[in-house]
Structure 1
Amino acid sequence: MGELERLKKDFELFRREVEQKMEEFEERFHTFDLQAPDSPMVEEEPESFQTQFIPGVRPEVIPESVPEETVEEQEEKPAFNPPPSVITPPTPPRKKEKQGPSALEKVFAAALSIVSPVFHDLFDFIGKIYLHYKKEDKLPVFFMTVGGIVAILLGSGFLLQYAFSTYFVNLPESIKVGSGFAPTFALGWLGLFLYRKKSLYQEFGSALVALSIILNYLIIYFLAAMAAGTGQVPWWEYVLIILNTGLALGFAIWMETRVVAVLTLLGGVFCPLFVQTESIPLVYFVYLWFLSVSVVWLSQKIQWERLRDLMFVVVTLTLEGVFWAGYTQVDTLTQVVFLHLFIYLFFYVLLCEKGFRFKKSLETRDVVWLAGFVVVLLFGLYQQFEFSAFSNSLAMVYFLNALPFIARTVIGRKQMENILWLVFVTVSATLLALAGAIWLDRSLINLFWALEALMLLYIGFLYKSNTVRKEAFFLFLLAIAQSFDTVSGLFITWPSLNFEWMSWVSIVGLALIANLNVVLIGRMEQEIIEGEKTRVSIYQEIACILTPFAMLLPLYAFFPVWFFYPVVLLTAALFVTKVYKKAIWGRFLLLCLFGWTLFHTSVTVVDTIRYAVWDELFDFQSSFAFVGIPFFLLLLYGIRNKVRKGKKARLTILLNISLLYFVFDYILIGYFFLGEYVANFALLVAVLYLLLGKWLQNKIASALGFIVFGLLFLAVWDSILLTGAYHFSAQTLYGKIAMVEIGAALFLLQSLNTGYLKQSLYEKPFAYLRELFYLLIPVIFLSAVNRNFPEYLTYAFWVSIIFPYVLREIIKKRSLVWEFYLLLALATYYAVQSAEIYVFVTGLLVVFGLHLAKNGFGKKGHKHATWKWFFSYNMYFVGLVLMLGGFEFVRDLSFGFVLTGLYCLLLLDFRKHIYPIRTHFKVLYILAITFVILGCLGAYLQSPTYPWLVGCLLIGNGVMFARLVYTRKALFVNQLADKTWHFHFILTQAYLILLYTSFIEILFDKHFHTILTVSLVAHGIILLFHTMKTKYNFVNKVYIPIFIGVLVKLFFLDLKDFMLVQKVIVFIIIGVLLLGSSYLFLRLKERRVKK
């Protein structure tokens, strides 16, 4: 069908739609006793006012008066949408403006033009009914009527199915399924009739033909499923598939419609899915090749290249899936032959035009397809030949495949553009490189990829082609990826290396090529564009990583003792050079390697000292290392300080090193003479260093003092490990002394700074240390109780919260408040763990004692910023006691949850008298709902111990929910009050659903899903009747999800689990309910309007 015919057909369709809408427009005007304006299709203007027609420019008509649109007209106005396939006259050419739709827009317009005529009349009819009911404010009637009709239709269908399965049992299955061809042929005949009847119905007729083809494939699939159990595929199934595919192809050629063309391709390619055979025979590949040729010819005839692209994707994926999965009967040689047939067919489609004449240039999309098919050919052959180290056959096949591209590159150089010539060069070089690599050795294959990448990079710079340089980059990344297997083989026996010379040569070659890439990029730096800088950085990163790796690998394998020194030299050299200035990650990895070698060497030295005898070590090094060095450095510092008074900053390092060595002398000599008791003198040494830091104005000395102070903690830790206990009385003597010294230091360091040091830097840290001393008092109390009276530890936690409470009132430290809440949380946790009534009683006495001491129930006490959360916690703690009491004494999970929910609702109702919950009652409300839902789920999952008691509590919760809903109590009154009430109402409905779901489960176990489905529909209908009052307009947020949930449950769960009789009953009951409710809604609406 030509473009002119399509334009005429679309214009005829558009004109008929405009006339129809004008008739409806005149009818609406007559209802208001107004005269409709003349039709714009026949309107004539005086000669003086006529405008000249310019193609692509619509004349502007200014009427004398334009009537205002009513609300109904504005709502009905979007119902008319012109067909998307209407083509407007072309606009005059302008400066640098887009002329005509893009290719993507044409594809979308064509797709919409296929789909929209099929459903346009149906949607238009439904839209008119919808607008009619919306205009009269009766949308619920519309939805219930449509739902009722659909439900009754489905019920009737299941009823017919039940009749067939009951009264026509002896009829063969193949006849039942095969009888489906009769309606599909009738549907196809109707499509052909409409297609030939009138041009207006051609799109609709072609859509019906497409639907007929789809149904034919579906029936063939079910017929094949019945024959699959025999183990053989009957010949008539292949005949049916070929006939249906041929029929689809003929219709696609005759009608020139894209839908049928796509169905032809997909239905023919996926033939194995229809026949359901375990292996695909040889005839399928012959059939698929001829089908591909036919689809290519069809795409050229209907001028739709997307069909060709779809064929490329579908056929390629099918072949790869069949060959790789072994889902075929043909041998390897035949598979290779068919792989070449398909790939060279694709090459022909991409590279040739008008017979066998080669194209002079290719579009970007075709170049991508060509590269993809080359990759498919390479890896397909690689997989088929089961690659070995010296596979001469595969190398020969690659070489033979390279010959056509080489011939075209040499012979047709003048007949093609430079970019296309470079593409041929790339393909030829790739095939030759792979052939050579496979011919030599597998481990060297990455070098050929890398060399080819270097060649492409040079060609890309030579011809100033960024595309070729991108190919070189990705090819080089492929070479790196090919090396992972080789590199991983070296580290199989780590920490020793499985060194192989061939693998090392491969890595050295990659490193050399990577550096050549960096040098080449540096020479051609002026050719680099803005978007290429990322690739340049990656080149440098790879070179910076591979270079040291290749150099250090043999050194680590053969000279591990000397490995540290070349790492240091190489690190310094690479950080000095500017060749890898953009290799940030490469330098970082090299620095990590340097750190690892330094750490490894240091660990070796430390292990030597640790396992040596202290006497020998001390006697060997005492005269110089531990005693002489600090004094020598201190003497040098004094002398140089006298000579160079102006360079004290450079000489201070000598003083710092000497102070550090004095610490080493104290530790080593003291440990030799005193053993672990050397740590007990750490407090004296630490204070001495702090004083030296003040006197010498040296921060390093003060820092060393704090480090020495850490020896006290080391002594305590050593004592704990030795005794296996944490409390004070079980520690060793040096551990007890260290604990006392730590406590004294925590309290006295602030006084030392205030009295002598007077350092502002230490003011806050020392204040925090004294604060820590106060925080440790409850910990010491709990430790003593745990040591002497462990059975009363849970009671001690409640008593311990008194300490931070009282201290907070004295010294006003915020950390004590945090400790108070932490101890409160721990006390609650251990009370829950113990589940003892006396522990809860103790907790209630302590917390409400403190509560009453601050008048926590009143407004004045609750305004106390420090303890307001504690006062609120007490209210929740009572609920926790009730819930755990229900769990422990009634032994019923659901009872505890429901009782706690009722308590929360009562607090919510009496919130005016309980001030701590007034500022965060929303949290209490959410907790109430959560506990009630958990109680319902608990009752649903496990039968309650006292069902009547749980039922009464559930009813009580329901009463409280209803009271809150209809009185709107306990909801804050501000701008969001209505929204909050809506949310409350929705949650109440959710609670009701859970409630009657639980009762239905208990009372009607066998028919639970049936009754629940009908109950949910009835619930949604009741909520829908709420909308007759304006204040319940928001209820659509409830009944719409309920109806959607019923649909999901019905079609995804019930249809699978229900028996056929249940399906009939449920659908018919739902249909009757919806239709009856629709009628009742209309009657009540009319009465309400009359009143």
Structure 2
Amino acid sequence: METELLSLRAELALLERDNQRRLETFERRLSALEAQLRRDDTAQKEPLAESTAELEDELALLMGTPSEPRQTVEQAHPAPIASATASPELISSGPKSPPQKAGKASVATPWLQEGLASLLTPALEPLNRVWEPLANFYRHYQRQGKAPIFFMTAAGILALVFGFAYLLQFSFNNYLGSTGKITLGFLVAAATTFGGVTFSRRMPYMADYGSGLIALGVILLYLCGYFAGPYYQLVSISVGIGLLVITTGLSYLLALLFVTRVVSMVTLLGGATMPLVANHFDPSALVYLSYLLALALAMLHLSRQIRWPQLAIVTMVLSAAMFEFSISNLDEAASTWGPLLILHGFFYGFAHYALRGLRSELIESKGLERRRLIIIAINLVLFIHISWSMAPSSNTLGIVWLLNLLPWMALAIYSRWLFGYNTASISARVVQSMALLHGGLLAGLAILALCSPALLGIVWCLEGLLLIFLGARFGFISVRSEGYIALTAAGLTMLWQALAWVAGGIVPAPVLLSLSADAGWGNWLALCAAAFTLTRLLQHCADRITAAEHHLTTFADNAFVVFLSASFLLSVGILWPQGMWLLALLPMGFLIWRGQRTGSAFSEWFGLSHYLLLFVPLLASASVVGNLHFYDQIPYGKIASVEAFLSLWMIAALYKHLNMQSTGFSLALNLRKLFYALVPIFFLPTVLYKANGYFPIAVWLSCAIALVLYTRLKLEVLKQELRILITGASFVTIISCVLQEFANWQGFAMSGLLLGLVSMAALLWIGQGLRRKAAGHDWQLTLHRVLKPLFPLAFYYLAATLLIISYALSRDFALALLLGQLYFAGLYIFKPKLAPLRNQLTPLYMLSLRLFEFITLLQVTAVIANSSKAPMLGLYNLVALGIASLLVYQRFFANRAVWPDRRLFNLWALHLTAIPVYIALLAQLLETMWLPAISFALVVHATLLLFQTLKPETQKLLKLSLVLYGTAALKIVLWDMQDFSLIQKIVVCMLVGLCMLGAAFQYQRFLSRNRLPQ
């Protein structure tokens, strides 16, 4: 019977839970229907209907059958009861009973499904995009009742695919050897190529597709040749070479026949790189380079036939890369004459391609094509670079370059015979100019190769300037371009040698540079002269040069500025190493003047950057002596420091003298402000380092200097510095007194303190600090505005002085704090209308109260330590308590500004601080009865607070009164009663009872008064 009763109760609980959720669902449906009836807007009926349908679905889910009609749900609902009745022992078996699990699952499953769906939907979004089409395909078969067929068909197709793949792998590995695989590969490649040819011939509209097939076939042929050679090693090296050559020739003919760019590019890339990949031509680089030369010439011809110039550029780049790769693997003992001769073939082949086919009308309208000019320039640079790297010696290189002068001279003379141009045509003139450029450059390089390497850059520089002059004079932009290239090479060469000369002269500090007048110094001078000459040359021909060359004029002028300054400083460094840094102001002034004269912002700012060079000897000196103190520096470091300091003012004076209103003028003004800001504090580091005892006095002297400077100059930075210095001097003086007392610091701390007191009084007098509104001259009004934020500081400084002096005289810190409290309280009470203190009333009020709390802490500490000073501290603390009570309770003029926001908090703080005051006093006065006396004192304190709550403004102290009553009661009951005698218990109980009755009476009166107005 008990088990059946328990099962019925469990089932009843489940039914109550289900009914509650159904009721909530019905209420939501009713609310939705009422809202629908109230609204006449038909546009909102559909969302309401949808929400109603969702509520019905949710109800159905709660009832356990979401996909069936309501009648079915209602019929199916009693099933759990029947099952529970039929098997009650299952329900009574505890948490493991199946009916209970089924009931919980039927309730929790819909909510669990919704939660999982909301969490997993974003994470599975990428998979849904792939899965949804497959799922739809499956549902299509499922609706037709063919789902098993779908699965079997998909599995069969997948099995056939894998089986066929494994069959092919088995056939290739077991029935086809290496020869069979290569043969099959060649057949497939040939069939692919034949198919591409067929498409290209029979279906012209499929020419692009046919070109792609031809290119694919050529690639397969290259791959088959690679597998037949080095991979499987089925053929010898000669046969492998033959296969690659045949493939290259075939692809070249196909590209030429069908005019296809894809096949031509495949021919170039495959023909140039596959021999090295296949490792056929190693170690004979001569054979490969000969093959590469033939391929490059064929590609140039193909480029002209199919009218695709980009192929020629790719051919040049690829040929240069493969040539470099080939000669990099040459043995050191191998001869380089063969590759050098082949290099000439590349050089003249590409030159012939670039100079052939020039059109007069194109040249007349646009000049030489940029593509041809790029090919000519790159061809010449590559020839010079590679021949330079392969030549056995510089003399041999010079002879080779001189011999190359002859073909270019012949070209200049016989251009008509070589290219078929008319002698008077523009094409012939262009060829002649290119021949002159090549011949002149090679002749100049040959001379340089035969001369000293140190003069290489200078000779190139002269040649480049000459070419630029000739190109500007006769209007040959190509000649000028060649000159710019030569000049760039010369500039980089000379700059490298010049920097190497400087790097070779680096020595340890403090000298830093030890230079001699040799070729490196000459390169600096040559760079300066070249930049100046190029600037003047381009400015002279300004009407005949392009826009890019006008930008080059500006760049050359800026480079001249840099090289001129470097040349001057390094020239000085040869004679006087340390002087090159100290004389940096000379080029700085010249460059600023030049910037003003020429309007060059770069010259001006570069000149200003010379100021940083003054820090080089300063840092070098610091690295020698080990610190940055001016007193310890070597003479050059001291001179640099003074020079850097004075330059802050001199730069602004120079701008003012030149009447410059440029972008650097604002920087000069800021530097001048920095100079004036450093004047008051310039000597402070030295004083701190060498005579730190005078530092408090020196800081006040800095304040005086800053005050005088601001009076004369009226600079904003001096105003801020003056305020910072006075504030800092105050703290420095006070800290020095603390250090002298507690850290045994030997200095004039007290003198600095008194000097600060005099200085503060002088500031109040000079700035009319005690007046609300200053009067007098303009400078007096200005000083008043500047010093006005510092006037309250004077009163705080006076408090610190009073604290320090009183402590120094009495050696009693509590007495000093009490005098400080009296000082702040006196200012608060008697001088609230004083101008500097009108905004300081709250700090004065809070400081007075906090000092009382600090004195209380000292008293408690002394009582705990049983110190002999405890009675005197108690007396001090009573006075401090009286002062604090006076501030908190007495109404003064200043309380109007302080009380509204802080009085209640200060009342709580006062009374909470008063508790340890009388506890400490009772502990001192009473030896045996001090614990009961404390309880009685707490009750008296609580009673006094309760009387104060009769006033409306202090009635919120009632909570503190009740807390004190409760604390006293607990202390008496739990602690005091255990140690009392009978008489003591009677007395204490009577006293406490009387106080409590009085408190109750007053509390009742307070409540009655509060209820009467209601």
Higher relative contact order (CA 8 A, sep 6+): 1
Compute the TM-score of the two structures, normalised by the length of structure 1.
0.45
User: Whose Rg is larger?
Assistant: 2
- TM-score, normalization by structure 2: 0.48
